[in-house]
Amino acid sequence: MVPLRDENPVSITPYVTYGLIVLNVLIFLYELTLSPPELVEFFRNWAVVPQELTISFESGLSAFSLHEWMTLITSQFLHAGFLHLAGNMLYLWIFGNNVEEQLGRLKFLIFYLACGVLAVFTQWFFNFGSSVPSLGASGAIAGIMGAYIFRFPTVRILTLVPIGIFLTTVRIPAILYLGIWFLQQAFYGVASLEVPTTVGMEGGGVAYWAHAGGFVFGAVLGPLFGLFDQRMEDGAVSGPEETG
């Protein structure tokens, strides 16, 4: 199932959501200019390498540690392929604007980055000895989805669904669509406990625990950041609208 849009208009221009999408795309375009060896080195420098992150915690404060801790942020803006980028940006575009409207721009940005960091830590906890770089925005976006499901559970998500060789669209409540998504991540996370995984690396696997962890932390942090402070009717129209 692929989400196409939500039926949840906003009355603001979600500059932070748009800015995050643009930044991710620009960095990916830069990645395309690198040769394969340069790209591998770029990922090893700016993505999270769980094994090196573990060493940084054991070695204490140093230039090496500071660099590794910085990758908790920089890794969120790296992608391993076009489909990896496109999928993440689609979910960010659909669900990010409504959460940004509820939290406010600055708090939304902090919330987004915090969910991404906590998602990486969740995956690291289950895979702290891996030497494969971990990267992608999916942990942070999962946090947005975790907040969305509690703030807008009844909003309909227009979803593309395959039926045999045909495609059709259906409108699914957010609580059902995102609930199924979360259960899938948790199930695959448990199933992959004995399998080396990483965050969105092609040829490496998918970090299901990062997705599940980001979702849970988003659900927890959302109310703390003011997710329910601005009460409004789900899907109500208020002034200029931007859907997505």
Starting at the edge strand that comes first in sequence, how are the strands of the sheet with 156-163 ordered? 2-6, 156-163, 166-173
* SS3 assignment for 96-143: HHHHHHHHCHHHHHHHHHHHHHHHHHHHHHHCCCCCCCECCCHHHHHH
Provide the pLDDT for residue 239: 41
Residues near 235 by beta carbon (within 8 Å), at least 6 away in sequence? 7, 8, 9, 152, 155, 156
Residue 215 and residue 141 in contact, taking contact as beta carbons nearer than 8 Å:
no
Q: And the tokens for 1?
A: 């199932």
Provide the pLDDT for residue 77: 97
Q: Which of 85, 193, 217, 93 is nearest to 138 (CA)?
A: 85
Looking at domain 2-224, its CATH architecture is Up-down Bundle (1.20)
CA dihedral 221, 224, 230, 235 (to 10 degrees): 20
The whole-angstrom separation of Cα 112 and Cα 93 is: 13
- Greatest alpha-carbon pair distance for the chain in Å reads 56
The whole-angstrom separation of Cα 69 and Cα 52 is: 10
Residues in the chain: 244
Provide the pLDDT for residue 242: 42
Domain ranges for the chain, please list them: 2-224
Provide the pLDDT for residue 237: 37
The whole-angstrom separation of Cα 58 and Cα 94 is: 40
Place of tokens 């060493």: 55
Residue 210 and residue 138 in contact, taking contact as beta carbons nearer than 8 Å:
yes
Say whether 1 sits in a helix, a strand or coil.
coil
Q: What is the mean pLDDT of each run of 10 residues along the chain (244 residues)?
A: 92 97 97 94 93 88 88 95 93 97 97 96 86 91 96 95 88 92 76 47 62 93 89 42 42
Provide the pLDDT for residue 196: 44
* SS3 assignment for 54-83: HHHHHHCCCHHHHHHHHHHHHHHHCCCCHH
The whole-angstrom separation of Cα 13 and Cα 53 is: 37
Q: What is the pTM of this model?
A: 0.86
